[in-house]
């Protein structure tokens, strides 16, 4: 039922023809919003400007700042009484952005999630434990609706309360979970405290990882600990939330559903398109939304289109795992650094725990980086030589990756504060 063969394996020429029709319809819809109506009139552009998909470049980009400046209803394309749902970003980097949905938008989103979950192996009869935050955050409700549509028994556990999560897994024989990667690693330490083996003492066979970027090394570590298959997913609230792109069983990139989204990859400096296979910033246009469709939205996420066809037979193109964001890049001593580079190296070093924190400081005109790393309890048993040896190895590995020598502070397990939401990886104490 959820293997939509006619859509998922559609011939590329037919898929692109369908995209063009959907794009033209979307341009008519967005023109009814205050922001796009005003912008299109000022620039003399509109649906008549589009004869092919490449004509999308005639339109200006949309940014998160645009959404903030026209908060809350400047981007809505239907009357307010047709809106049935609002979601919001956390607003941690400024005023929160809000996204609105019609009843049809919710139905389309639900179907995309069902398509994703079915592709990864979930079926009617599975028990799905959703360990994501519910509410304004899109992740919880999106997966919840998709799993219910498939026919799975859904446990809306929400975030946190680790011992209760484990109890729910065991009492109801949970077979699939939706979890933040850093929390999955933290939860493994609670299994240890309870003297339980997650491989033997639970029935979980599939995990869906999302809400925060993570490396392939972290995914493999989670799979080794739990013994289940962990699938990477991608979404953003501005498009609908989770369900924008998802891994198939071959796990070689994430299929981005091109019947609902038009994808571009641009050079974030020149703002020009880059060829398939070249890394750049992901830009997206919604093709099915009614309530708040967006044109050429700059996600700030760095990835690339994987040009080769997928072995699964699906024709929707794949994007590579998100490398980082163009706006979370750190510049230290003239070197560009992404936190995920540091995570990748740390995950390769035996003895390193599941949590770390990058602290940036400034003394006079000199910027310094300290990487606080949790390591195993055995390193604090009194043998300082072992601790220093591990510290030296971490410094050498990080220097080889990021080309500068960071300070490293080794700390005991669970000494770095953990939240129930996305892991905090960088604390910038530098002053302008």
Work out the number of other CB atoms within 10 angstroms of the CB of residue 332.
17
Distance of CA 295 to the CA centre of its chain: 20
The structure's pTM equals 0.85
DSSP 34: H
Q: Looking at residue 403, what is its pLDDT?
A: 87
At 48, list the tokens: 């008549």
How deeply is 177 buried, as exposed, middle or buried, from its count of CB atoms within 10 A (0-12, 13-18, 19+)?
buried
List the domain boundaries for the chain.
1-325, 330-428
pLDDT tens digits in sequence order for the chain, 432 residues long: 567 889 999 999 999 999 999 999 999 999 999 999 999 999 999 999 999 999 999 999 999 999 999 999 999 999 999 999 999 875 434 467 899 999 999 999 999 999 999 999 999 999 999 999 898 889 899 999 999 999 999 999 998 899 999 999 999 999 999 999 888 988 999 999 999 999 999 999 999 998 877 888 889 999 999 999 999 999 999 999 999 999 999 999 999 999 999 999 999 999 999 999 999 999 999 999 999 999 999 999 999 999 999 999 999 999 999 987 877 778 887 787 888 889 989 999 999 988 999 999 988 777 899 999 999 989 988 778 999 999 999 999 999 988 899 999 999 998 998 765 677 889 989 865
What is the C-alpha separation between 271 and 264, in angstroms, rounded? 11
The answer to whether 72 and 88 are in contact (CB under 8 A) is no
Residue among 289, 276, 349 at smallest CA distance from 317 = 276
For Cα atoms 162, 341, 183, give the angle at the middle one, nearest 5 degrees: 5
Q: Tokens 């970027």 label which residue?
A: 213
Residue among 379, 409, 385 at smallest CA distance from 395 = 409
At 409, list the tokens: 């502070």
Q: Tokens 């599975």 label which residue?
A: 126
The answer to whether 351 and 373 are in contact (CB under 8 A) is no
CATH superfamily of this structure's domain 330-428: ANL, C-terminal domain (3.30.300.30)
Q: Looking at residue 420, what is its pLDDT?
A: 59
For the chain, helix, strand, coil in percent to 5 are: 35, 25, 40
Distances (CA, A) of 263 to 257, 316, 403: 9, 11, 33
Does the domain made of 1-325 have the CATH classification 3.40.50.12780? yes
What is the C-alpha separation between 43 and 23, in angstroms, rounded? 18
The answer to whether 20 and 52 are in contact (CB under 8 A) is yes
End-to-end CA distance of the chain: 56
How deeply is 329 buried, as exposed, middle or buried, from its count of CB atoms within 10 A (0-12, 13-18, 19+)?
middle
What is the C-alpha separation between 97 and 31, in angstroms, rounded? 20
Read out DSSP for 168-235?
A: HHHHTT--EEEE-HHHHHHHHHHHHHTT--TTTS----EEEE-SS---HHHHHHHHHHH-SEEEEEEE
């Amino acid at each position: 039922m959820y293997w939509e063969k006619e859509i998922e394996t559609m011939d590329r020429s037919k898929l692109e023809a369908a995209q063009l029709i959907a794009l033209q319809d979307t341009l008519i819809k967005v023109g009814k919003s205050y922001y796009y109506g005003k912008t299109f009139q000022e620039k003399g552009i509109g649906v008549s400007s589009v004869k092919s998909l490449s004509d999308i470049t005639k339109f200006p980009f949309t940014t998160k700042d645009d959404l903030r400046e026209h908060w809350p209803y400047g981007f809505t394309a239907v009357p307010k009484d047709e809106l049935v749902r609002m979601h919001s970003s956390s607003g941690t980097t400024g005023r929160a952005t809000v996204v609105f949905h019609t009843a049809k938008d919710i139905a389309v989103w639900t179907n995309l999630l069902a398509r994703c979950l079915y592709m990864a192996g979930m079926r009617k009869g599975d028990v799905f434990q959703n360990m994501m935050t519910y509410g304004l955050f899109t992740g919880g409700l999106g997966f919840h609706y998709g799993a219910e549509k498939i026919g799975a028994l859904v446990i809306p556990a929400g975030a946190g309360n680790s011992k209760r999560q484990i109890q729910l897994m065991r009492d109801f024989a949970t077979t699939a979970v939706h979890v933040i990667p850093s929390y999955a690693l933290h939860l493994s330490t609670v299994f240890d405290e309870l003297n339980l083996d997650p491989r033997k003492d639970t029935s979980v066979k599939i995990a869906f990882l999302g809400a925060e970027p993570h490396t392939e090394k972290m995914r493999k570590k989670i799979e080794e600990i739990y013994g289940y298959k962990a699938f990477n997913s991608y979404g953003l609230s501005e498009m609908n939330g989770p369900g924008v792109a998802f891994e198939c069983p071959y796990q070689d990139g994430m299929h981005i559903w091109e019947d609902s989204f038009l994808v571009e990859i641009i050079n974030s400096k020149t703002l020009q398109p880059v060829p398939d296979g070249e890394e750049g910033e992901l830009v997206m246009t919604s093709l099915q939304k009614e309530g708040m469709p967006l044109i050429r939205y700059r996600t700030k996420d760095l990835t690339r289109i994987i040009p080769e066809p997928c072995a699964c037979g699906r024709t929707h193109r794949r994007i590579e795992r998100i490398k980082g964001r163009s706006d979370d890049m750190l510049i230290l001593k003239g070197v560009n650094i992404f936190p995920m580079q540091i995570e990748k190296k740390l995950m390769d070093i035996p003895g390193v725990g599941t949590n770390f924190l990058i602290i940036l400081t400034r003394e006079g005109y000199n910027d310094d980086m300290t990487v606080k790393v949790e390591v195993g309890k055995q390193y604090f048993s009194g043998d300082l030589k072992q601790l220093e040896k591990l510290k030296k190895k971490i410094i050498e590995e990080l220097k080889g990756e990021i080309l500068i020598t960071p300070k490293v502070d080794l700390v005991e397990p669970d000494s770095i504060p953990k939240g129930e939401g996305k892991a905090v990886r960088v604390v910038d104490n530098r002053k302008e």
